[in-house]
Chain A
Amino acid sequence: MTINEVQNNIIEEFSMFDDWMDKYNLLIDLGKDLPVIDPKYKVKDFLIEGCQSKVWLRPSYDGNLITFTADSDAIITRGIVALLIKVLSTRKPEEILSADLYFIDKIGLRQNLSPTRSNGLLSMVRQMKLYAMAFNAKSK
Chain B
Amino acid sequence: MKDIAEIRADFPILNRKVYGKPLVYFDNGATTQKPKCVLDAVTEVYESYNGNIHRGVHFLSDMSSEAYEAAREKVRTFINAEKKEEIVFTSGTTGSINGIAFSFGERYIKPGDEIILSCLEHHANIVPWQMMCERKGAVLRVIPINDNGEIILEEYFKLLSSKTRLVSVAQASNALGTLLPLKEIIDAAHSANSPVLIDGAQGIQHGIVDLKTMDCDFYVFSGHKIYGPNGIGVLYGKEKWLSELPPFQGGGDMVDKVTFEKTTYNELPFKFEAGTMNYPGAIGLARALDYVHDIGRDNIASMEKDLLLYATTRLSALKDLILYGRSDRKISTISFLIKDIHQYDTGMILDKMGIAVRTGTHCAQPVMDRYGIDGTVRASLCFYNTKEEIDALCDGIEKVKSMFA
Residues of A within 8 A of B (CB): 20-21, 24-25, 28, 51-54, 73-77, 119
Shortest distance between the CB of A88 and any CB in chain B (Å): 22
CA distance A52 to B358 in the complex (A): 10
With contacts A20-B19, A74-B345, A76-B345 taken as known, whether A28 is within 8 angstroms of B360 at the C-beta atoms is no
CA distance A21 to B359 in the complex (A): 19
B348 at the interface (CB under 8 A from A): yes
Chain B residues with Cβ below 8 Å from A119 are: 344
CA distance A53 to B403 in the complex (A): 18
Question: Is A73 in contact with B349, judged by CB distance below 8 angstroms?
Answer: no
Chain B residues with Cβ below 8 Å from A75 are: 341-342, 345, 404
CA distance A62 to B19 in the complex (A): 45
Which of B342, B352, B404 contacts A53 (CB under 8 A)?
A: B342
Most buried by A among B341, B345, B359: B345
For A53, the closest partner residue in chain B by CB is B344
CA distance A33 to B359 in the complex (A): 26
CA distance A25 to B108 in the complex (A): 58
B361 at the interface (CB under 8 A from A): yes
CA distance A73 to B375 in the complex (A): 12
Chain A residues with Cβ below 8 Å from B349 are: 21, 24, 76
CA distance A54 to B375 in the complex (A): 12
Q: Mark B19-38, 1 if CB is under 8 A from A, else 0.
A: 10000000000000000000
B369 at the interface (CB under 8 A from A): no
Shortest distance between the CB of B384 and any CB in chain A (Å): 26
Question: Is B352 in contact with A20, judged by CB distance below 8 angstroms?
Answer: yes
Chain B residues with Cβ below 8 Å from A77 are: 342, 344-345
CA distance A74 to B400 in the complex (A): 13
Question: Is B348 in contact with A73, judged by CB distance below 8 angstroms?
Answer: no
CA distance A21 to B381 in the complex (A): 25
The 5 A-B residue pairs with the shortest CB-CB distance, nearest first, are A74-B342, A20-B352, A74-B344, A53-B344, A52-B344
* A-B pairs under 8 A by CB, number: 40
B298 at the interface (CB under 8 A from A): no
With contacts A20-B19, A20-B352, A52-B360 taken as known, whether A25 is within 8 angstroms of B345 at the C-beta atoms is no
Most buried by B among A25, A73, A74: A74
CA distance A119 to B351 in the complex (A): 16
Q: Mark B356-372, 1 if CB is under 8 A from A, else 0.
A: 00011100000000000
For A51, the closest partner residue in chain B by CB is B360
Shortest distance between the CB of A24 and any CB in chain B (Å): 6
CA distance A24 to B404 in the complex (A): 10
Question: Is A24 in contact with B360, judged by CB distance below 8 angstroms?
Answer: no
CA distance A73 to B342 in the complex (A): 7
Which of B341, B352, B359 contacts A24 (CB under 8 A)?
A: B352
B374 at the interface (CB under 8 A from A): yes
Shortest distance between the CB of B118 and any CB in chain A (Å): 22
Question: Is B352 in contact with A21, judged by CB distance below 8 angstroms?
Answer: yes
Question: Is A51 in contact with B348, judged by CB distance below 8 angstroms?
Answer: no
Shortest distance between the CB of B340 and any CB in chain A (Å): 10
Question: Is A24 in contact with B403, judged by CB distance below 8 angstroms?
Answer: yes
Chain B residues with Cβ below 8 Å from A73 are: 342, 374
CA distance A73 to B337 in the complex (A): 14
Which of B19, B341, B345, B361 contacts A51 (CB under 8 A)?
A: B361
CA distance A25 to B343 in the complex (A): 17
Shortest distance between the CB of A33 and any CB in chain B (Å): 17
Chain A residues with Cβ below 8 Å from B343 are: 74
CA distance A51 to B342 in the complex (A): 13
List B residues 209-259 near A (Cβ within 8 Å). none
Shortest distance between the CB of B366 and any CB in chain A (Å): 15
For A112, the closest partner residue in chain B by CB is B348
Shortest distance between the CB of B61 and any CB in chain A (Å): 37
Shortest distance between the CB of A5 and any CB in chain B (Å): 28
Question: Is A52 in contact with B359, judged by CB distance below 8 angstroms?
Answer: yes
CA distance A76 to B399 in the complex (A): 15
Most buried by A among B348, B349, B359: B348
CA distance A76 to B375 in the complex (A): 16
CA distance A138 to B317 in the complex (A): 58
For A52, the closest partner residue in chain B by CB is B344
Shortest distance between the CB of A95 and any CB in chain B (Å): 30
CA distance A47 to B109 in the complex (A): 39
CA distance A20 to B340 in the complex (A): 23
Chain A residues with Cβ below 8 Å from B344 are: 52-53, 74, 76-77, 119
CA distance A75 to B400 in the complex (A): 12
